[in-house]
Amino acid sequence: MTDRFDGWIAGLGTRAGLRVVVGHWPRSPLGAFTDVMVERPDGHRVLLAPSDAVAEFVAATYTFDDVRTAPVDAEVAGAHWRVTAGPLVVAFTVGGRTALGLLLRAVPRALATHPRWIGAVDVVARAVLPGVRTRGSAAGGRREYYGALDLHRLTEAAVRWDGADQGPLAPVSPPVRFGFGSTPRTPSLTRVVTLVQAG
């Protein structure tokens, strides 16, 4: 059985060391939802999920030190995104498409989201984007595939955690440790179809 999540993943860092990964999924087996994974500067990993069902599925696929269920609201107005989730408020601006984004858009969607193609792309991703993987083993014996369809840089962000300003946009460094791979080091928004196969 394969679960298919169709949406966007945003990954960004802050000068204070907080790293944030936003998953925005208009189409999924769990309905439309947004969830957030946060790694604090001390390495503590937190999942912020909008429902028990989302929390259960995501926590069974990735690794966290803390799982919290709280309202997660995402507002998207053109290039401007704002996400509020429990102690987190993040707003970011999406910039132009990268050179890699142009290449990704040239690949037919049916091919770009096929596990065999994603496996072949994984070899290139490891060489070009350190820390990034497009396939791998997830928790619970699951296999996961990321079919990237487009890629944009983020140009600015404002992030608050527990009311404290986290400073300006910064690379995702060190890489986040929720699963087998990280988001790109350069803050970015990826159009993606994620396939999760049961173990």
26 φ/ψ angles, rounded to the nearest 5 degrees: -65, -25
Rounded CA gap, 47 and 63, in Å? Answer: 9
**pTM of the prediction?**
0.95
Residues sharing a CB contact under 8 Å with residue 192, sequence separation 6 or more, in sequence order:
7, 8, 9, 146, 147, 148, 149
What is the tens place of the pLDDT at every residue in 135-192?
988 887 889 999 999 999 999 999 999 999 999 999 999 999 999 888 999 999 999 9
What is the tens place of the pLDDT at every residue in 47-95?
999 999 999 999 999 999 999 999 999 999 999 999 999 999 999 999 9
Query: DSSP class of residue 50?
Result: S
**What are the boundaries of each domain within the chain?**
2-183
